Structure 1
């Protein structure tokens, strides 16, 4: 049997932390596969020397372990391998990573978390142990699962991991009625939001946000523009204005419009001509979407992580449905007063089942992050 995380050494935790950081390099760029990090480490008195590194390649293959073994070469024999996810054991487009580790002659494999894929689910560990390789599982498991939250959600629940991002004034407002886009936070916090977009495969808003704010919904950080996520618009009646600015970059950054069967065919065709993909989603008699159906459709498409940016009613529906997994709440410094649009989440009104997992300052603004624990 694989040894538990309690037997992991301090060196194991240090190298696994490095493997988790490595896994983030291709987060959101590996298709339906997770972005895994792997290290091959030669044992030494000082704790070990890294001789091979690998991260899941763009589009999902080759896997991290194969790349790390290739870089290590003969130095892999007798070494310890650190993998953020259980090495695969099924035969697909490439040989199983578990078999490759056995063939390379590694002495020990430290794994952060087991694979929820039914084709693997402990079989990778079994292959290694039958070959006489020492296996330790659960090393920095919580940290690795957070890094792979999208993959684990898609495999385990059939839907993407959903992060709700809100910028809220001290009096609990996310905007001012009839004012369009209103800056609640400063430049530093807004750049942090840009990085959140980089870390997610898609960004989602309601059609009213597009009509009123006319956002681009892209990444506007120098050098990271290509990392802009798929833009998803919840638009039951295909009312997205064809002149919306987000269509200017539709050829480079996809626009996915979720419309109901009640949408005008002509309007839907107009949006397709602008470069959007229009996907029909079942709605109720009023044309409203069930948030569960929205995420089910996005899961079928293969999206692992979605950043929900509003507006207020769209955010409230997903919160009330219990489908939000993480809340990133930015709190600014300027109050809005009676003309403000109330936020569905504030510091003093957090939905049940969430706990604070982190906080920080971005200039004068604060960020509080909550995650679902139930």
Structure 2
């Protein structure tokens, strides 16, 4: 069962990441070459595991944002290539670790690395990629960029632990959940955008603008992911619809459905999430309750709120093709739920 959610009328339904892809195409070719080079190792399993995920078709949105942020700030050096690659390695390491923690079987339409090579290999290769990421940050020679990205790595880990601590707990509040995704997802988007003006030598105004843009884009992006888990398709998600439910994950649609439900409905959620009674029939009922209480449209509305903050964050910056492309990325992220 799926629920197709339309965004409000009057929005641009053709929003795309293509302008960003085209603007960063040349630099992304260099990033991809560096990714392949730095994922290499004499230990055969390391490139095998790393390339399984690296080559699996992700959009590489975060490194493209690093490149675009640097270019829109007038940067003409080489450091943004290493920083963008560092960002992608941090993201890939997080995915490898996430799949182990979440016991996920599928990622971007393929078996997860842990299903092929095991949990230990996935964790250790993730650690290798983090090490390579930090090595490249040091090579750039910017202490501020190193500070921003290393802080993000720490915050992401905190977010993972926080999510683990509230897992399968139906008393989780919306504020609790937002704290998790602010750390797990928004922190890397934020850092990816902030290091652009840093390496370009810009001041606080540009750094704060792009940091805010990244943070709020990341929040919007994750909230739409939450919607797609209950109202999307496996093609949209790169994983099975309902995986969050089966894994006992507390996401915003579940928080809202639980808070708005009757006593009987809340008991269903406790049994499904806390006690693991989450078969296909339970997923069907969960989707029905989420629909009944308008949880998907309201989650989209919250995502649109953060999208508006991201748009406003870029408003003071000079017009440029990169700025236009980054604005369109906001619309693209939101319209994935359409």
| Bigger helix share | 2
TM-score of the superposed pair, with normalisation by structure 1: 0.27
TM-score of the superposed pair, with normalisation by structure 2: 0.29
Greater Rg by CA? 1
| Bigger strand share | 1
